[in-house]
Amino acid sequence: MTDLHDLTALEQGELVRRREVSPLELTEHYLERADRLDSVGAFVTLTPELARERAAALGPAPGAGALHGVPTAIKDLNLTAGVRTTLGSAAYDDFVPRVSDGVVLSMEAAGLVSLGKTNTPEFGSPCYTEPDIAPPAVTPWDRSRGAGGSSGGAAAAVAAGLVPLAQGSDGGGSIRIPASCCGLVGLKPSRGRVSGFPLYGDPIGLATAGPIARTVRDTAALLDVLAGRRAEDPSWAPAPPGTFLEACDREPGRLRVARFVTPILADVAVDPACVEAWEDASKLLESLGHDVEDVAVPLPPEAVPVFETCWAVLTALSTAPEGREHQLRPLTRWLTERGRAATGPEFGLAIGAMRRFAATALAALAPYDVVLTPTLAAPPVPVGALRDDADPAADFRAQMAFTPWTSAWNVTGMPAISLPLHWTTDGLPVGVMLAARPAEEELLLALSAQIEAAAPWAGRTAPGW
Catalytically annotated residues? 75, 150, 174
Asked whether 118 and 87 are in contact (CB, 8 A), the reply is no
What is d(CA 68, CA 58) in angstroms, rounded to the nearest whole number? 8
Asked whether 88 and 120 are in contact (CB, 8 A), the reply is yes
- Give the list of residues 6+ apart from residue 79 with CB closer than 8 angstroms, or none: 85, 97, 99, 100, 101, 104, 199
- Picking from 70, 152, 76, the residue whose alpha carbon sits closest to that of residue 117 is 76
What is d(CA 72, CA 158) in angstroms, rounded to the nearest whole number? 9
Q: Which residues pair with 434 in a beta bridge?
A: 372, 417
